Amino acid sequence: MVQKMKDKEVRDLEILGHRIVEEAGEDTAKKRRLPQIKNEKKEVFYSDLLYALMNLRFCEGEAKAHWDEILKHKWEMSEKLGRNVGVRVAALDYFKNIKGLIKSPKIVEVSEFAATSWRAMTDSLTELYNHRYFQNAVNRRVSSVRQDGGCFSILLFDIDFFKVYNDANGHIAGDVVLVEAARILKEHVREGDVAARYGGEEFGIVIGGAGKREASEIAERIRVRFRKFDFANEEVMPSGEVTISGGVATCPEDGKMRKKLVSVVDDRLYEAKRKGRDRICTSVY
């Protein structure tokens, strides 16, 4: 499952780095994959496109403006030189000589770039997305709700009494629990959702299009699956089992800004802890 996720991310970047970049830069109606991927990525299409092309990250609106200028620059260069200038060449000239955003360009194979990008946005132990990617995913979802309406939810989990387990069994055994926890989370996320290691023994999930009820049901299924899972030497825990606590927050119901939503879900997680752990909280009383 982990390898499949990794392979998919690398393939996506390679598609953007090869065929999609070229199709997007061609003045032709034969753009078979472009509409499909543009529809799939919606609020991050141009941002991901320029990231795959030049390793530069912009917000979607700024990325779209840069892309339009790159295409214009491409046709101008092609007309002056009397030959078709590739979109990569035009983009390099645009960002280096016109915008001055690149000082010392370096040519890197797309496969190497994709692998490096994967490492930069994932946690090395669990191979879930990392904290930074999680926060960016929330930002993207917030922008999408503002622009197109709809909703999404955030789940935040924490392994109960994890220090007790580590102290009794050692950090290597603790790492095994974190890896198993990541596998459980992956069992319950859909394609397009984001499962991340939020930090330490905390995990987060961003669920697109899910309201409070649906998100709470997913969180509860994860909690139950976690409790029933046979973790090694879990009898050392206070309850005799490794358990998790969780919180749920939904946009726009609980907030329309990333910081507000993260604050709300964090409060609800700790409310679950305060009330005895091994539970999911959707509100704070």
Does 187 participate in catalysis according to the annotation? no
Instruction: State how far the Cα of 51 lies from the Cα of 15, in Å rounded to an integer.
Output: 12
Instruction: State how far the Cα of 256 lies from the Cα of 261, in Å rounded to an integer.
Output: 7
Instruction: State how far the Cα of 263 lies from the Cα of 138, in Å rounded to an integer.
Output: 12
Catalytic choice (43, 60, 201, 234): 201
Determine whether 131 is exposed, middle or buried from the number of CB atoms within 10 Å of its CB (0-12, 13-18, 19+): middle
Q: Which residues contact 69 (CB under 8 A, 6 or more apart)?
A: 94
Specify the pairing of strand 280-281 against strand 244-251. Answer: parallel
Q: Contact 280/223 with Cβ under 8 angstroms?
A: yes
What positions carry a catalytic annotation? 201
